[in-house]
Amino acid sequence: MAQKISHEEIKKVLRYRRVISVILAMMYFLGMFHRVSPGVMAKELMDTFGIGATEIGLLGGAYFYPYAVAQIPAGMLSDVWGIRKTITLFVAIAGLGTLFTGIGTSLSMVIFGRLLIGFGFGFVYISVLRAVFNWFRVGERGTTNGLLIAIGNIGALSAAGPLAVANKLIGWHNVFYILSGITAAMCILAYAIVRNQPGDKGLPNFREIEEYEGKVFTEEPPLVKIRFTQAISKVFRGKRFAFMAAWGFMVYGVMMTYQGLWGGPYFEDIIGWKREYYGFLLSMMGVGSVVGFPFWGWIADKVLRSRKKVLIIGTVGMTAVLSGLWNAIGSSNYGLYVVLNFLFGFFGGNVAVSFVQVAELYPREMAGTASACLNIFFFIGGAIMMHVVSAIIGSYGEVAGAYPYAAYNIAWLFMALTMVAASICAFFTPERKIL
pLDDT one-digit tens code per residue, 350-364:
988 898 888 778 776
Q: CA 429 to CA 410: how far, in whole Å?
A: 29
Residue 433 falls within a domain, yes or no? no
Range of the domain at 217: 2-427
Residue 233 falls within a domain, yes or no? yes
Q: CA 111 to CA 107: how far, in whole Å?
A: 6
Q: CA 253 to CA 347: how far, in whole Å?
A: 15
Q: CA 177 to CA 155: how far, in whole Å?
A: 17
Overall average pLDDT of the 51-74 stretch: 80
pLDDT at 302: 84
The model's pLDDT over 295-347, given as tens digits with 9 standing for 90+, comes to: 998 898 888 888 899 999 999 999 999 999 999 999 999 999 999 999 999 99
Residue 435 falls within a domain, yes or no? no
Q: CA 226 to CA 223: how far, in whole Å?
A: 9
Kindly report the CATH number assigned to the domain that includes residue 177.
Answer: 1.20.1250.20
pLDDT at 94: 93
Q: Find all residues with CB under 8 Å of 311, minimum gap 6, and list them.
A: 247, 350, 353, 354, 357, 426, 429
User: Regarding predicted confidence, which is higher, 33 or 251?
Assistant: 251
CB 251 within 8 A of CB 243: no
Residue 93 falls within a domain, yes or no? yes
Q: CA 88 to CA 27: how far, in whole Å?
A: 10
Q: CA 179 to CA 202: how far, in whole Å?
A: 35
Angle at CA of residue 182, ends 113 and 166, nearest 5°: 80
* Number of domains the chain contains: 1
- What is the full DSSP assignment across 345-393? HHHHTTHHHHHHHHHTTS-GGGHHHHHHHHHHHHHHHHHHHHHHHHHHH
Q: Find all residues with CB under 8 Å of 301, minimum gap 6, and list them.
A: 139, 140, 141, 142, 143, 434
Residue 99 falls within a domain, yes or no? yes
Q: CA 64 to CA 67: how far, in whole Å?
A: 5
Neighbours of 184 (CB within 10 A): 16
User: Regarding predicted confidence, which is higher, 30 or 347?
Assistant: 347
The model's pLDDT over 202-257, given as tens digits with 9 standing for 90+, comes to: 877 766 766 666 665 555 454 556 666 777 777 777 677 889 999 999 999 999 89
- Closest Cα to residue 253, out of 60, 56, 66, 52? 60
Longest dimension (CA), the chain: 76
Residue 434 falls within a domain, yes or no? no
Residue 166 falls within a domain, yes or no? yes
Q: CA 369 to CA 75: how far, in whole Å?
A: 4
